[in-house]
Structure 1
Amino acid sequence: MVGTHDSPKGDLLEHIVVPVANETDAIKTAMALEPYNPDKVTALHVVEKGEGVPDKIPVEQSEELAAESYAAVRRVFPNADDHTAYARDVVGAIFKAADEVDASAIAYRSRGGNRIMQFLSGDRSLKLITQADRPVIALPQTDTDS
């Protein structure tokens, strides 16, 4: 099947963007995605920039986290591409990156957390699912996700 994310006839697993936060998250997410055998994978790490306020993590440390995350994804998907975004709005950066690499879908693994943490973070999962312009695949949790 041929198409883009705008067409329901496109192959959902043609090119998946996988947002990853750190090495542990990256390997768990890649392993959860592996059984679905996507054609192409792009690992995405968003470096949260403060835009007028101090950064949560120094940029150099965030870039190191990104490199470790990409290496973890490549343990499962050796030919995975990587993409680093710099933004305050993580979900917006995921959408922009998916556009930039022409992804057919976004696949993520919920990081959970209690309701207070979800409220404080603006519940990124909810935004990701409800505001996306392409399919969003919520990968199942594994036994090791607790």
Structure 2
Amino acid sequence: MGKGRFDHVLVAVAGEDDATATAAALARNLDADRVTVVHVVEKAGGAPDKAGVEQSETAAEASFAAFREGYHGGEVTTRVVFDTDVADGLVRAAREADADAVVFTPRGGSWFERALTGNVARDLMDAADRPVVAIPDAGTGADA
């Protein structure tokens, strides 16, 4: 199967391990001239946040470094986004970056965990104003 092709994609990463897996999956499945890697920090919306701003930005930088280490494609830029809703933050970031598509690797978890935490992938597809591309983890697929 051939690779998909985009000029500019926005890629969501949620941590170092996810960034490493996403970089490999992106390299395997898509070609892009430009990649904007986004780490969304979910704000509590009036309640205390899970982590402080500095701690969140440090975690995001580690994710970005892991992505860069594993991805050897086109130009990579990074951005930390703060939002009360991860999907909304990704859609806004894609719009602001003028990305052709939003790309992500589906994250695991049981149906019960997804029901409790919400399904960001579903919410992203519902809210998106541009294509949303789910790419399989590099360890899955027909020729893995």
Is 1:31 equivalent to 2:24 in the alignment?
yes
* TM-score (normalizing by structure 1): 0.85
Partner of 2:90 in structure 1? Answer: 94
Which residue identity is paired with 2:34?
A: K
> 1:38-68: CA deviations, max 9, x gaps?
1110100111111210111222111111101
Which residue identity is paired with 2:66?
A: A
* TM-score (normalizing by structure 2): 0.86
Partner of 2:107 in structure 1? Answer: 111
Report the alpha carbon displacement of residue 134 of structure 1 after superposing the two structures with TM: 0.6
Structure holding more strand per residue: 2
Deviates more, 1:98-107 or 1:29-38: 29-38
Query: What is the alpha-carbon distance in structure 2 between the residues aligned to residue 121 and residue 129 of structure 1?
Result: 17
Query: What is the alpha-carbon distance in structure 2 between the residues aligned to residue 137 and residue 108 of structure 1?
Result: 7
Query: What is the alpha-carbon distance in structure 2 between the residues aligned to residue 130 and residue 51 of structure 1?
Result: 21
Report the alpha carbon displacement of residue 12 of structure 1 after superposing the two structures with TM: 5.5
**Which consecutive residues of structure 1, in runs of 5 or more, have no partner in the other structure?**
1-10
Partner of 2:11 in structure 1? Answer: 18
Partner of 2:38 in structure 1? Answer: 44
Identity %: 41
**Which consecutive residues of structure 2, in runs of 5 or more, have no partner in the other structure?**
none
Query: What is the alpha-carbon distance in structure 1 between the residues aligned to residue 137 and residue 17 of structure 2?
Result: 14
Do the aligned residues in 1 keep the contact of 2:88 with 2:127 (CA within 8 Å)?
no
